[in-house]
């Protein structure tokens, strides 16, 4: 197996999708801030985002959590600490007990950022708000993740940002050869749909015509969800 190109500046991101079973987001947030977030923070992970899926576009009840870490060494330390005999085993077990009690299940990913993504610290310094976002899980052609992001940044991002959808970043899933996840923050949260949708009236602009001709050669499909920030999220 070959790894994708890894840019020297790039941080790692741990992406968790948690389906809440019989739980709800209020209780989840309470347990998250009491048990899980302190443990992960102590182990060196920075909470990048925590969103819940909204009712009308996505799977619910579901929460998406993203942690920012510096390197695979941090990922290794987190794994060791949570394992049996590790320094955070008791906290990790308490968190798993809670998830088990509500019938939760989920999926984890290790991601790294696209070349021009901003870090959490940079986004916060810029006052970047991500209270309501579109998450796009993109299935690319095999091995074409970097190519897809490059063309997206060149053709789609400038137009998107002019129509109320600010590019939060693109992430490449490690250990998968055909997945990219994009996030778009919506100006004015829900007001964005009223103010900017449909994104064009009549004929699409030239750059989107070009994008529509380029993108199909680089992707096989995608799934969009609309996510809303929960209170602990640092980008609201």
Distances (CA, A) of 149 to 5, 19, 73, 117, 178: 13, 28, 26, 11, 12
What is the phi-psi region of residue 11: left when phi exceeds 0, alpha when psi lies from -120 to 50, beta otherwise? Answer: beta
Residue with tokens 């060791």: 80
Q: What average pLDDT does the segment 152-170 reach?
A: 94
Distances (CA, A) of 88 to 14, 16, 144: 17, 19, 38
User: In the beta sheet, which residues pair with residue 23?
Assistant: none
% pLDDT > 70, the chain = 96
**pLDDT reported for residue 9:** 53
Positions of CATH 3.30.70.100 in the chain: 12-113, 120-229
What are 9-59's pLDDT values in tens digits?
A: 579 999 999 999 999 999 999 999 999 999 999 999 999 999 999 999 999
Distances (CA, A) of 166 to 40, 132, 161, 205, 214: 28, 11, 5, 18, 21
Q: What average pLDDT does the segment 79-94 reach?
A: 98
User: In the beta sheet, which residues pair with residue 180?
Assistant: 138, 172
% pLDDT > 90, the chain = 88
**pLDDT reported for residue 2:** 43
The predicted model scores a pTM of: 0.94
Residue 5 scores a pLDDT above 90? no
Residue 1 scores a pLDDT above 50? no
CB 111 within 8 A of CB 12: yes
Classified by CATH at the fold level, domain 12-113 comes out as Alpha-Beta Plaits (3.30.70)
Say how many residues make up the chain: 236
Classified by CATH at the fold level, domain 120-229 comes out as Alpha-Beta Plaits (3.30.70)
């Amino acid at each position: 197996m070959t790894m994708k190109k890894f840019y020297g500046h790039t941080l790692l991101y741990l992406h968790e999708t948690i389906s809440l079973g019989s739980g709800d987001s209020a209780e989840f947030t309470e347990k998250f801030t009491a048990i899980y977030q302190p443990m992960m923070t102590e182990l060196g992970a920075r909470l990048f985002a925590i969103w819940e899926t909204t009712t009308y576009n996505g799977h619910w009840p579901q929460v998406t959590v993203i942690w920012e870490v510096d390197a695979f060494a941090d990922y290794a330390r987190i794994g060791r600490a949570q394992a049996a005999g590790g320094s955070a085993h008791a906290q990790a077990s308490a968190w798993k007990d809670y998830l088990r009690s509500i019938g939760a299940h989920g999926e984890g990913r290790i991601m790294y950022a696209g070349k021009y993504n901003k870090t959490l610290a940079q986004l916060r310094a810029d006052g970047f708000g991500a209270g309501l976002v579109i998450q796009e899980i993109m299935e690319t052609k095999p091995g074409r993740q970097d190519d897809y992001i490059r063309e997206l940044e060149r053709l789609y991002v400038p137009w998107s940002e002019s129509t109320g959808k600010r590019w939060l970043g693109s992430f490449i899933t490690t250990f998968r050869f055909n997945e990219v996840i994009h996030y778009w923050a919506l100006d004015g949260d829900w007001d964005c749909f009223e103010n900017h949708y449909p994104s064009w009236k009549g004929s699409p602009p030239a750059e989107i015509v070009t994008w529509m001709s380029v993108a199909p050669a680089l992707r096989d499909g995608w799934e969009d969800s609309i996510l809303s920030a929960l209170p602990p999220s640092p980008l609201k």
